[in-house]
Structure 1
Amino acid sequence: MNSTFPSLRARDLIPTTIAALISVIVNYGGTFILVFQAAKVAGLSPEMTASWIWSISIGVGITGIWLSYRYRAPIITAWSTPGVAFLVSALAVTPYAEAIGAYMISALAFIVLGLSGMFERFVRMIPPGIASGLLAGILLQFGISAFGGAQVDPVLVVGLFAVYVVLRRFTSRYAIIGMLAIGLVYLITTGKADFGTIKLAAASPMFVVPQFSLHALLGVALPLFIITLTGQYMPGMLVLRNDGFQTSANPILTITGLGSLLAAPFGSHAFNVAAITAAICTGKDAHEDANKRYLAGIACGLFYIIVGVFGVTLASLFLILPATFIATLAGLALLGTIGGSLANALADPKGRETALITFLATAANVTLLGVGGAFWGLVAGLTAHTLIHGQFRKKYYAAKGSYHADQKS
């Protein structure tokens, strides 16, 4: 992508800001309930929970803004969703201060990995077809959920779909914002979403003195590192590559790791490059000109910071939205990315079969040994590719040589 700033106009801000807003809504409305569940398991007070939300929202906001601005790419950062899902059980048997220490150790590991360059070399080895198959498999469930909600609220789902189709026909750029606006009006007028009970109050960060133990190292830090690396960083980097952004993984790992390290004493468990919600901001729906999509990353960061300032009170606003609305909104917003990923995955006749294996294995979303379906889908695809074509070793040395050449330049 172009490393210089393109000329910007006011209308460039509209599609990128809307893509960012939808990404934030999906992130908070779709999975943030896990943070409240983990906080309850840990026995945290409302003030400590607010500090967790403050630290993680401010942290992903600042890192996302900086990375997007610095590398002119829509680098969306977010908290580790599989990580917080793991913490729902881990915090039940780990003292909170020791968990904080574990968060810091995990963050240090990401900094070291980023500085080493090893992860970037591995990402470069992955064939484009397998990368696209992995992304399509991850996003498939969201596309299905866009229509599956019709069993729960057929009027809402059919209405949103109709709005989307009509607007795509007449004004493609504003299809998503139109669907969002009309959907919110419907929810408010029918009483399915009541925002009147939300009262804004600024969050106050609370510092927790970290403690370190072997139990927390093995029971929290190590699993959190592995889960976040395989469930977030890997698909997140492939989302960027799938849409043509070649930003190195090294600074992303280093900056998000550093941010996680600084935010951990205030409750933040880990933040990283986003995957699913990032796909909303990296494709053509965010902006036709790829060189201007970095604006979506900056807008996302600003939205996260605003939510973080108000902590629990503003984060709760997104939880009021019905799950069916969130799922339909996300699924329709990701249609273009899902279609593009499938097309890229099947474009090369030689690699079509291994890309399809990756897609199906990932879509199955099987969790083994505590590691999610994205990792095992990638393992299945790379294993098949190596056995069928025998090119993975060759790609390793090519990627290694390319990486060292980039370092010298």
Structure 2
Amino acid sequence: MSVGDTSGNSGDHGLGRSWLLYLSLAFASMSFSATGPVAIIIAASREGGLSFAQTSSWLFASIGINGLASIAISWKTRQPLLFLWTIPGAVLAAPVIAQYGFGAAVGTYLVCAAVLLVLGVTNLVGLLDRWVPMPIVMAMIAGLFLKYVLAVVHSTVAAPLIGGCMLLCFFGLLWLERRNAAPIPPLIGAMLAGAAVLFATGFKLPSHSGGAWLATPALIVPRFDLHAISQLLLPLLITVLFVQNAQGIAVTRASGYRTSLRLVTLVSAALTAITAPFGGCPSVLAGPSNAILVSGGTHGRHYLGALMAGVICVAIGVCSTAYVFLLTSLPGAYIAILAGLAMMGVLEKSFVSAFRSALPLSAMIVFVVTLSDVTLLGVGAAFWGVVAGCLVYYAIEQPRQAD
């Protein structure tokens, strides 16, 4: 029997404990999603040169609108289906925003939504994973994420006291976590340790008196720039379909839910179309957050945790201006370290998936080309990395059919 299992004879006390468990899982899930991943949005918005208001609108769309939709979808399906934003998508979008403008990125998001809709309606999405091997996708993700994890080193050198304490706390809790003895997640511990050092050394938040606290969503006029679309669209589709949604579906199916790939694709398309005009990058089924939601409790009742997590999302989205003010007021080194630590687990899994596979040469080609950050014919390195990796795979490493 699961930790949160309660029978009909357990009474109000058992029911109360069950609800408390799902509430705890919801808070743990959102503690992850609303810290490191939000720090990634802040870092991406800084790289893209976005204003405070644009960043606030982006966060409102990414967490508030998705949270509201997650409540409806989880209630309807009775499954833990928490939709949030694609973290790799935020990373991918930053240089495109800086080079072509926010409107060009929004236009690409809308094209992405249209393609997802076609794939879902025609059910072609079930065939696409045969074209691009997963190790090639994961090598591209490794190449994209590496610079953000490297920023942890650079920021720690620049701010050794903050960085040292955050790293010590993170790896200490990680050591305990792998022995099932960590009192809190490593990322949360690192966040708290860094904040404690900041305030202990005299850091003070600037005054926000008279400033807005509630969200002020702003519509971004989309611009359909062919260079931006060619650079961003394919990597976005790959990460949405084969990294984020695939991971989220694997999590829920492993917990006994018959989650539909087609349904998830269609929901991603609809939510991406809704959030994009406010600056939100494509919406996906959140793998890590849903993994926390199904880590305890009873099968068939995990959707309760998703409902509670959705409510927390909506609350953060409504107060996104205050939340962005808080995070943007913190030192850049603190945000960079927090974002890098949030990506470390994904980077580790990407390396393992890419280079422990049967096609290490293809993965290495993808990784090197993506890491080079070259632009050819107006198209970014992530696209060319996947193209180069697929060419090497089909020419050299594809398993030969037996005669």
- Fold conserved between structures, TM > 0.5: yes
The answer to whether residue 340 in structure 2 is matched with residue 334 in structure 1 is no
The answer to whether residue 315 in structure 2 is matched with residue 306 in structure 1 is yes
Match of 1:185 among 196, 203, 208: 196
2:147 aligned residue: 141
1:228: how far off?
4.6
The answer to whether residue 240 in structure 2 is matched with residue 239 in structure 1 is no
Structure 1 residues not aligned, in runs of 5+: 1-5, 41-45, 211-215, 395-409
Report percent identity of matched pairs: 20
2:12 aligned residue: none
TM-score by length of 1: 0.69
User: For the Cα contact (< 8 Å) 1:24–1:300, is it kept in 2?
Assistant: no
Deviations 1:56-108, CA, capped at 9 Å, x for gaps: 5533433455667756466532595444654556559x8x9xx9999767644
1:197 aligned residue: 208
| RMSD of aligned residue pairs (Cα, Å) | 4.4
Return closer, same or farther for 1:322/1:372 CA change in 2, 3 Å cut-off.
farther
Match of 1:257 among 269, 292, 306: 269
Match of 2:366 among 346, 355, 358: 358
Deviations 1:29-62, CA, capped at 9 Å, x for gaps: 2223467x4569xxxxx6x986676455533433
User: For the Cα contact (< 8 Å) 1:34–1:88, is it kept in 2?
Assistant: yes
Return closer, same or farther for 1:235/1:120 CA change in 2, 3 Å cut-off.
same
1:318: how far off?
1.6
Cα distance in 2, alignment partners of residues 55 and 89 from structure 1:
22
1:376 aligned residue: 384
1:19 aligned residue: 32
Instruction: Output aligned runs, 1:139-288, within 5 Å.
Output: 139-170=145-176, 171-172=181-182, 174=184, 175-192=186-203, 194=205, 196-197=207-208, 199-203=211-215, 220=224, 222=226, 225-240=229-244, 241=246, 244-245=250-251, 250-263=262-275, 267-269=277-279, 271-273=281-283, 281=289
Cα distance in 1, alignment partners of residues 201 and 366 from structure 2:
43
Tell me the number of residue pairs that the alignment of Structure 1 and Structure 2 aligns. Answer: 363
The one-letter amino acid paired with 2:270 is L
Structure 2 residues not aligned, in runs of 5+: 6-17, 254-258
1:113: how far off?
4.2
The one-letter amino acid paired with 2:374 is V
